[in-house]
Structure 1
Amino acid sequence: MTTPGPSTALTTPAVALPGWLVARVHTVLALAAFGSALVLGCMLHYKKIVKNGVAGWPKEWWPSVSATIGDWYPERSVFQILIALTAGPRFALVYMLYYVHHSTTLLVIGVLRTFMCGGWVYITSTDGPDVHDACMIAYVVLTLPWMIGGVLCSRGKARKWRRTTASAFFVSLVPLAYFYHQHKVKRIPGAYTRRGVQTRQSAALSVRDESSRRAARRNVCSNSPPCVTRLRSCAARRLARRTELKARTVPEISITAHPIPQAAEPPVILNWFPAFLRSLSSFMSDLYLAHTFWVVFSAVQPTLFYFSIWELAIAGPELAILSALSPALLGVRAIAIWAANKEGQITMHLLSLVAVASYVLSNPLHRLLLVTPATACVTLRQAALLLQDRKGYHSIIWLLGLLMFSLTKFANHSNNPVWPFVDDASGGWNKTGVILAVLACGDLYTRQTTADVPSRKIDVSAMPQPDTHWLAAALPLGSLVFILHAYLTEAGTLTAWAWTGWHDYQPSGPMSKHAALTLLAISAGGALALSSLCNEAEKDDAEKAPSQAQQASSTGGVIAAMLSHPAWYALGSAASFVMYGYRGWAGYAGSLVTAMFWASLVPGIVARAAATGKPGRTLGTAMFIYILMILANVWTVAYAFVPGGVYLRERTDLVMVAQTLLLAPAFAWSREARLKTPVLELPRTARLRAYATLAICCILGLATSLYRQPLAAPRPYSPGPRIITAGIWTVHFGFDNAGRDSQRLISELADDMRLDVLGLLETDLHRTVFGNRDLTRLMVEKKGYFVDIGPGPNKHTWGAVLLSKFPIKHSTHHLLPSPRGELAPAITAILDVWGTDVMVVVSHNGQKEDALDRQLQSMELGRLMAEAYPMPTIFLGYVVTKPHAPKRAPYRYLVEDGLMYDIDEDDKDRWCEYILYRGLYRTAYARVSRGTVTDTEMQIGQFVVPRHGSTTGELTKDERYLRSYREDLPVEHWFPDEYYGDKRSGGKNKHFYHVFDTPLYYRLPEGAHV
């Protein structure tokens, strides 16, 4: 064995790194440290980190740096780990500056400044406020000579860049000191928030200056010692290689202009499968994975909005919606290559399954922490697929996945069975969903390229491309993603838009059972989109054609030209106007045309986005547009709880105009542009399978609609004694206290209490933040109720629902006067109760902050009930008042002006929910605790309807308050025994009779006409 001598060691090549790489690593680590602390802090402890010694939320709404990075776990630990990793590049930058300029002063300042940074980072304001402040001040003071010295030592562009950054930093110190004085000395609420914003701006300028790539490159290359010469020559070789590759590259529709190396194909374990079955398996796997995309993508907003509901304000977790911006990372070539390759696709598929599997977690926050990164992964994966799509295959699969997602919701009472906030108890099929997704990933892993199922590898073959600017492609794509999510992920959303109530025992518009027509409309749009893609025979003819005009004359070319023609855009815009401006069947017809129009645009808009050659910029902008549209859509109704919401109050018209205008760049507005419209070439087998999928979804949708319809008309629980039991419940948007769907819990309690009439409030769930759900589907289809869902999502209310075992003869929707606060919905309905007309009023009035609104709303409700006098009437409402409170509080407007009786005026422990009545004999009154369903109890009133042709007349208080024991009444009047108990024992599903610990019972007066 020989030992290498000195000469051998001298010949070992040195490792050379470009100077800009050190600066870039420092920048990424520093931004990751501060950014992760900010995001985690806002999601987990928002109100705690904005609170200071002067004020808290909402006066203070932006956290300080100190509170964000040092006060709470886990953001403190994540920050400290990442900032520790930043130390190496930071010291390297200090040494590089010294090596180039030989300035000992700058070296000492840089080292001291780094140690001061460690002082205020690791000694938090909670641990030692004096030491923390001293280190922070020293850090800021040392930053001044550090920046000035850097400017003086630099030359050329580096000096100009440093001078600009340093100037901006110095200017930012003035307002920083001013707001600090306002907070520390004058103790003005809100000043600390402005100081916090200014501090982050100053820190960002400081980090950007010392981590400038230009400056770092200039520093390394300004002199020429041996190591620097190697760095410079290395950079020169890299530049020459890049120039040569660019010169040889042919422009193409792909994530990157460079051929992407692929890993070797994994061993195929299914070679014994016939080729046809193998390709069919691949098609079905792609379809299910597209369905999984919509599952995860649509789950993040309901998961995060759970916290906003409880806080009735911006709570911090709303930042999770930014996970949809992950496609912007495709601008980084390394990420684009990884996301497009099979290994990256499988990895992201498996990571997305974390969201599906998170249903096992009982804590809503824990589910959000898993759903958020999974959403980022699944969105990045889908974007990578769409941007490498040369044959329209992945865009069609994406659309079919949406159709499948909407169908499964329609079949499962408007809940997708594999959503993370749905479990076995709420109708979930989560285990089955996870197993199917794993099998689909296994199929992808073992897949080989076939003729009819395109490979997941990027194809580098050239094809005609439209001259598309990246912004003109991003705007329509962002609008399209919003439209598909907001309107087409639930078949019943468009029926809710057109619903107006009942007239002469018949629905005056479409109901949930008609939602299968929405699936047919989406399928029709998908069929048009498929027809715009060439099959193999048309592809051969197009290749032989001498001109683009002849290529466009093929069947696919003609339909593609039609779908990009301004006339098609005009038709879709007109249908959108009908959808917004009309109600009933006319409005729903416009909605169906609009749904077909939207679905038909998917391949064309995706192809334009793929053709730009700027994936990160295009997709990042598109998803940013999507997020803005989502916020605007929510703010039309949630304006009272968000900053600037007043400008979008009840302005769905602005949202619809914006989404339609944003689609305009996707159309060819000149003849030359229409001739250049590319015709995608989808293999024939894939086309046939896509058509078959559309047909199967249509058939299943119609079959589901027929299967879900009750075989018999709804029947009251107690027809013999002529009892009518009515309840009112504010159900918190269909989320229980664990953040899961509460349809089954609501249905079970209503069934146990034998409710013939039920008013549900906070029920308009046809928005992305609620999952586009219908809270009434289960009770209508399983328990047998007539339903009026009240004002639809285009009426900007939180929703009110009337469920009735009795036929609804007529119903009217009302938007109560709301000049200041949230818009209040109400339903007045005439029920046919054994031949007697009984009016039921369901309403959700404003909050306590808006006294004028509550006064005007109560006056209007009192007027409606007084006008119906002496018709028997039941009022079920949320009114926010104390019993017997004087006017302007709502109570007397409803009771006295409305000519109504309080169900029990001796019950002084009420605030939100009230039951009033007249023309009926009240026999029982119960208050049932909220259990785990919501934050509000259920109130129940039991009444007996006078025999047909008779009335109760005017009853005195003594006649109305003949209190009784349960045993003195017939068994039909008894409430179930299972709900006796308290928080510690008894009850059912944590529901129990509370306040009185039992239902209150009343005897009928002498001479009652029953």
Structure 2
Amino acid sequence: MILSTTKASQLARLHTFLSFTAFIGALVIASSLHYTKVVQNAVAGWPEEWFPSVSATIGDWYPERNIFQILIALNSGKFGRVIFFSMSPRFALIGYGYLLNRSKFPSSALPGLMLVTGILRSLSCGGWVYITSSDDHDAHDILMILYIVLNLPWMFGNIQLSRGNVRRRRRYRILWAFRFWVTLLPMIYFFIQHKVHHVPGAYTYYAFCEWSLIFFDILYDSVTILDFENNELEVSINYFLASQGSHSSIFRCPSTSTDKNVSTLSAGEKSSLVQEHAEAHPETHLPLISELLVTCRPSLSFLSDLYFAYQSWTLLTGLPITLFYFSIWELALAGPEFSSLAALSPLLLGFTPVLSFATSRGGRTALAGAAGAIGIGLWWAESVWVRLGAVIFGVFCSGIRWAAEWRSDTQPGYHYVGFLLSSLSKHLNYGNNPAWPILDSATGGQHVIVLILGFFALIEFGTRPDYPFPASLDEVQQSSPKVGNRQAPAFREQWLLPSLALGSLIYSLHERLSDPSSLIAWSWSGFPTSGPHPHVHAPLTLLAQVLAAFLVLALSPFDSPPLSKAPSRVPRVAAVFPNISAHPLVFAIGVLSTYLMHTRTGWVGYAGGLLNAAFLTFITPAILQNAGAAARTCGAGRVFGRHGLSGSVFLFVGTFTVAYAFVPGAWSFRERTDLVLTAQLALIAPFFNWHPSSLSSAAPLPPIPRVARRYIRTTLALIAVATLIGPLRKSAPPAPTPAPAHERARILNAGIWAVHFGIDNAGRDSQHAMRDLFRDLDLDVVGLLETDLHRPVFGRQGSYMDIGPGPNKHTWGCVLLSKFPILSSRHHLLPSPDGELAPAIEAVIDAYGVNVTVIVAHNGQEETPLDRELQATELARIMSASYPDPLIFPRIPAPYQIMVTDGRVHDINKDDMDRWCEYIFYRGVHRTAYARVSRGSVTDTELQVGQFAIPAYGTTTGEGAVPEADLYLRAQREDLPKEHWFPDAFFGNAESGGVRGHYYHVFDAPLYYKLPLASASASAQ
């Protein structure tokens, strides 16, 4: 029987009323009955905390908990034995909204997606409402987070479905969604202050944000009142008793006034209809927030797309460095390395529902939002496993979105300019991308700023008008310019070669160009410098890419938006040199540049690197275009899934050229960087037109709309300016000239440390912590081991005086940091027949007018005794060759006796037999102190420090000048001048004292030695 006929808008009003009543009622009752109890939390209570949180209000106390749950139950629509599904406000609104949207958008998949999202969102809401924090804190939080995550596609999807003659519906949805997501940012901040830093009072501010989210969420859902009022939706409700087993509702909505079935129109008819509608109803195409958006919208759209490209590159380059933490601790394949296979996520595009979702507006919005919110937004997590899982998820979502865009995007320039921004951000942030998960606020992380930018980009993309959009790839091909007398041919039925070419290209960009100073590391040969310096000349790498990108713009056809009547045209230079990006001469340039980059050092090697950077930049848009065309012809999952696979294979193989000793089967790639580079070129080669007759008919560079061309040009110019200004920013005010800490006493403090590639015990960047420790200990010369930071698994630039052998030398590297001028240096690769290639630096520094040789070396592991013996013999030869010149050798040990006897050096403390893997040898200088400093959280090895007094020029310090027994005469600290004392701040232990976890250990204090008379006289002068 029919109970009644009512307007659906009344159900929406009922839903809003019950929701507000439930929350506000619980808040009023809780504050009235037990205020001090409900504001109490694990950190503090009244008066520091003075406003109750949502969780405490609705879940901890009687009777507000019960009243709240009863009102929420009324909103869910279950009343005793009579079930009114049609009168269930929450689920009824979801169902009726689906029917309404389906009638308006019959060919869109978005209404169905909103139906599923709405149901899951409601179920997760019921989860955190009925499972309170006092019942199960983890389940409550997980369901709450799931609810917030589902709000992303829910809100943006409904904004997209709000197009129509009533402007205020969409305006209100944008307004409340904007406030909802903006409020998340301070809420996360105050939650961290409360949960991590235990700041009293922070939870109160968190509570304000939490309540704001609740009310913004309810107000957003209340806009359905306008949906149903505008469409005059009525619901006739039939009901039977539950025992009779049936209930139903009749949905009625006036039909639309459209005279044509839009889904049956051709592309041209659609464009004409769109233009006619825009002219007849100009008010529906006006901006929703401000008239200013009419002018700014194209710029905002470009910036949004640029941000998403930057975000994707940030996540892609951030994954290897995050997961490598596990490898360096296990010295083997630990398992997490296979998380790099997240790049295979485009394989899912082989399933039609996934492809439809990924290419839709709502799908792309959801993927971008999830990648940013999780992949970047969980940087604060203390667990490295959580951060790794977050960035894996981010790469997974970004890979799908990337592939969907490449399949249909006519503006691949966005993606490469985003890559340049990622590289620039590392250059300006001392070698670390500010949005990487290994960073935090103390080490240069700018995640909050990046997330805020991402939020605005999501808002823009989710509310972007349907037109004018760039032409689809199909339309571009239909209107592509003719070359000669023939139409440019469609892409052939092949997918493997374009896929492999794209995978090789992405890896090449990542390997060599994701950090501007990496190419300099390839060409670095030491002092005196005969080539570029990492800090001074790194901008040249970016400038070479910018110039190549300008050249691509000059050769790319102009294209117009679909609604414009202006025809596409080919630039004059492109008409003279058609399809030059696929010309074999371009490939020849790539081969030559790769050869020079790999085999030469100094300026010649770096010039090859710059040419290689320009080559990769120049071919990127066309390779993306070809891969996209192949994806449309042969399937996006097939093309882009294999591109991810080939890139992952290169990532592993490129690492195995160095890390072969600990990985089964990796030995075959030992020191074969040349083969890896050759394979990259071989996979790119099929992209080029090798048959002379095909040069005039090959696919041209992708067309770029005139407006986008202007924006890209402006962005490239700004990148070039920022690249040049960056070094000036770092040196303003001018950096002081490096100088030793105790020049008057002619003291040289030297240290040795294996630093695990700048990744600390918690998986965070440790370079700031190392810098601070060196400063506090007044170190003048430091040898750092395991420092090659210029591979895709690291991707950061170093900031050292001599960065040692580069990535093309097949070694993990070592670094010499000195406050004294480096007069000359040589790089050595020590004999390593059984294990990994061991690097060494032999440098001569000017220490108070005396030439002192300093050697830094990383010797073989205990598993390779032959390597250790051969390396010790070679190092002894190098040290003996400089005899009797003064020498300091902070190093990893090889066979002890060979080093001491044949190298003609002294041990800093021959009685200390438990130094694990770090020894310090010396000759021709006077050792006055020796200390072992605990590692803190920086790495798994201690920092060993030796102090040496440099004799005056001409003083005899050779063999026999000082009796052997006198070399080890101990002294009290007070027996030496104060300049020789190590800092008192490092006295303490693991429980108390020390500086940031660093303290004198083993001996609990530095060891001091008597100062020879010659040096004592020099100190007194």
Q: Same fold (TM over 0.5)?
A: yes
- Cα distance 1:527–1:449, how it changes in 2: closer, same or farther (>3 A)? farther
Contact 1:501 1:509 in 2 (8 A): no
User: SS at 1:286's partner residue?
Assistant: helix
Cα displacement string for residues 108-156 of structure 1 (whole angstroms, at most 9, x for unaligned residues): xxxxxxxxxxxxxxxxxxxxxxxxxxxxxxxxxxxxxxxxxxxxxxxxx
Distance 1:654 1:803 in 2: 33
Distance 1:826 1:540 in 2: 64
The code of the aligned residue for 1:454 comes to: P
In the alignment, which residue of structure 2 is the partner of 1:648?
669
Per-residue deviation, 1:508? 4.3
Per-residue deviation, 1:560? 5.3
Distance 2:979 2:349 in 1: 67
Q: Which one of the candidate residues 429, 439, 442 is aligned to 2:446?
A: 429
Per-residue deviation, 1:537? 8.4
- Cα distance 1:2–1:705, how it changes in 2: closer, same or farther (>3 A)? closer
Q: Please, which moves more after superposition, 787-796 or 557-566?
A: 557-566
Q: Which one of the candidate residues 554, 575, 582 is aligned to 2:593?
A: 575
* 1:787-866 to 2 correspondences below 5 Å: 787-866=801-880
Cα displacement string for residues 253-274 of structure 1 (whole angstroms, at most 9, x for unaligned residues): xxxxxxxxxxxx9995334224
Cα displacement string for residues 678-734 of structure 1 (whole angstroms, at most 9, x for unaligned residues): 343211121111111111111111111233245442111111111011000000111
Distance 1:873 1:442 in 2: 62
In the alignment, which residue of structure 1 is the partner of 2:274?
none
Q: Are residue 462 (structure 1) and residue 487 (structure 2) matched?
A: no
* 1:817-966 to 2 correspondences below 5 Å: 817-879=831-893, 890-953=895-958, 954=960, 955-966=962-973
Contact 1:723 1:942 in 2 (8 A): yes
The code of the aligned residue for 1:822 comes to: E
- Cα distance 1:962–1:697, how it changes in 2: closer, same or farther (>3 A)? same
In the alignment, which residue of structure 1 is the partner of 2:505?
480
In the alignment, which residue of structure 2 is the partner of 1:978?
985
Per-residue deviation, 1:988? 1.2
- Cα distance 1:903–1:494, how it changes in 2: closer, same or farther (>3 A)? same
In the alignment, which residue of structure 1 is the partner of 2:462?
445
In the alignment, which residue of structure 2 is the partner of 1:762?
786
In the alignment, which residue of structure 1 is the partner of 2:433?
416
Contact 1:533 1:557 in 2 (8 A): no
User: SS at 1:378's partner residue?
Assistant: helix
Per-residue deviation, 1:337? 1.3
Per-residue deviation, 1:543? 9.6
Per-residue deviation, 1:511? 2.6
- Cα distance 1:600–1:875, how it changes in 2: closer, same or farther (>3 A)? same
Q: Are residue 511 (structure 1) and residue 534 (structure 2) matched?
A: yes
The code of the aligned residue for 1:388 comes to: S
* 1:532-681 to 2 correspondences below 5 Å: 532-536=555-559, 554-558=572-576, 561-612=579-630, 613=632, 614-670=635-691, 671-681=693-703
Q: Are residue 492 (structure 1) and residue 517 (structure 2) matched?
A: yes
Contact 2:314 2:422 in 1 (8 A): yes
Q: Which one of the candidate residues 719, 723, 730 is aligned to 1:701?
A: 723
- Cα distance 1:543–1:267, how it changes in 2: closer, same or farther (>3 A)? closer
**Gap runs ≥5 in structure 1:** 4-73, 75-245, 251-264, 546-550, 781-786, 881-889
In the alignment, which residue of structure 2 is the partner of 1:137?
none
- Cα distance 1:326–1:458, how it changes in 2: closer, same or farther (>3 A)? farther
Distance 1:442 1:502 in 2: 52
Contact 1:502 1:508 in 2 (8 A): no
The code of the aligned residue for 1:688 comes to: R
In the alignment, which residue of structure 2 is the partner of 1:301?
320
The code of the aligned residue for 2:439 comes to: V
- Cα distance 1:297–1:544, how it changes in 2: closer, same or farther (>3 A)? closer
In the alignment, which residue of structure 2 is the partner of 1:718?
742
- Cα distance 1:905–1:295, how it changes in 2: closer, same or farther (>3 A)? same
Give the alignment's Cα RMSD to 1 decimal: 2.9
- Cα distance 1:541–1:667, how it changes in 2: closer, same or farther (>3 A)? farther
Contact 1:542 1:554 in 2 (8 A): no
In the alignment, which residue of structure 2 is the partner of 1:998?
1005
In the alignment, which residue of structure 1 is the partner of 2:32?
none
Cα displacement string for residues 933-987 of structure 1 (whole angstroms, at most 9, x for unaligned residues): 0000000000010012213242223211221121221111111111111111111
Distance 1:467 1:907 in 2: 71
Q: Are residue 692 (structure 1) and residue 692 (structure 2) matched?
A: no
Distance 1:2 1:801 in 2: 84
Per-residue deviation, 1:2? 8.8
The code of the aligned residue for 1:363 comes to: S
- Cα distance 1:442–1:910, how it changes in 2: closer, same or farther (>3 A)? same
Contact 1:928 1:939 in 2 (8 A): yes
Q: Please, which moves more after superposition, 621-630 or 927-936?
A: 621-630
Contact 1:448 1:455 in 2 (8 A): no
Cα displacement string for residues 228-272 of structure 1 (whole angstroms, at most 9, x for unaligned residues): xxxxxxxxxxxxxxxxxx99999xxxxxxxxxxxxxx99953342
Contact 1:501 1:790 in 2 (8 A): yes
Per-residue deviation, 1:544? 8.0
Contact 1:449 1:455 in 2 (8 A): no
Distance 2:951 2:301 in 1: 66
Cα displacement string for residues 162-196 of structure 1 (whole angstroms, at most 9, x for unaligned residues): xxxxxxxxxxxxxxxxxxxxxxxxxxxxxxxxxxx
In the alignment, which residue of structure 2 is the partner of 1:361?
381
User: SS at 1:825's partner residue?
Assistant: strand
**Count of aligned positions:** 730
Contact 2:560 2:566 in 1 (8 A): no
- Cα distance 1:277–1:900, how it changes in 2: closer, same or farther (>3 A)? same
Cα displacement string for residues 896-936 of structure 1 (whole angstroms, at most 9, x for unaligned residues): 11000000111111120010001001111000011100000
In the alignment, which residue of structure 2 is the partner of 1:211?
none
Per-residue deviation, 1:345? 0.9
Q: Please, which moves more after superposition, 329-338 or 932-941?
A: 329-338
In the alignment, which residue of structure 2 is the partner of 1:318?
337
In the alignment, which residue of structure 1 is the partner of 2:420?
403
Cα displacement string for residues 635-668 of structure 1 (whole angstroms, at most 9, x for unaligned residues): 0001111121111100000000000111111112
- Cα distance 1:553–1:444, how it changes in 2: closer, same or farther (>3 A)? closer
Contact 2:886 2:924 in 1 (8 A): yes
Per-residue deviation, 1:388? 0.6
The code of the aligned residue for 1:421 comes to: I
Contact 1:532 1:558 in 2 (8 A): no
In the alignment, which residue of structure 1 is the partner of 2:303?
284
Cα displacement string for residues 718-754 of structure 1 (whole angstroms, at most 9, x for unaligned residues): 1111101100000011100000111100000000011
The code of the aligned residue for 1:423 comes to: D
The code of the aligned residue for 2:716 comes to: L
Q: Are residue 968 (structure 1) and residue 990 (structure 2) matched?
A: no
The code of the aligned residue for 2:893 comes to: V
User: SS at 1:810's partner residue?
Assistant: strand
Q: Which one of the candidate residues 363, 388, 391 is aligned to 2:408?
A: 388
Distance 1:266 1:739 in 2: 49
Q: Which one of the candidate residues 360, 366, 382 is aligned to 1:341?
A: 360
User: SS at 1:481's partner residue?
Assistant: helix
In the alignment, which residue of structure 2 is the partner of 1:378?
398
Cα displacement string for residues 79-125 of structure 1 (whole angstroms, at most 9, x for unaligned residues): xxxxxxxxxxxxxxxxxxxxxxxxxxxxxxxxxxxxxxxxxxxxxxx
The code of the aligned residue for 1:898 comes to: G
**Gap runs ≥5 in structure 2:** 4-138, 140-262, 268-283, 481-488
Per-residue deviation, 1:362? 1.0
Contact 1:325 1:620 in 2 (8 A): yes
Distance 1:761 1:925 in 2: 20
User: SS at 2:579's partner residue?
Assistant: helix
Contact 1:926 1:1000 in 2 (8 A): yes
Per-residue deviation, 1:455? 8.0
Per-residue deviation, 1:431? 1.1
Per-residue deviation, 1:463? 4.7
Cα displacement string for residues 256-309 of structure 1 (whole angstroms, at most 9, x for unaligned residues): xxxxxxxxx999533422433221122112111211111111111111111111
The code of the aligned residue for 1:911 comes to: W
The code of the aligned residue for 1:990 comes to: G
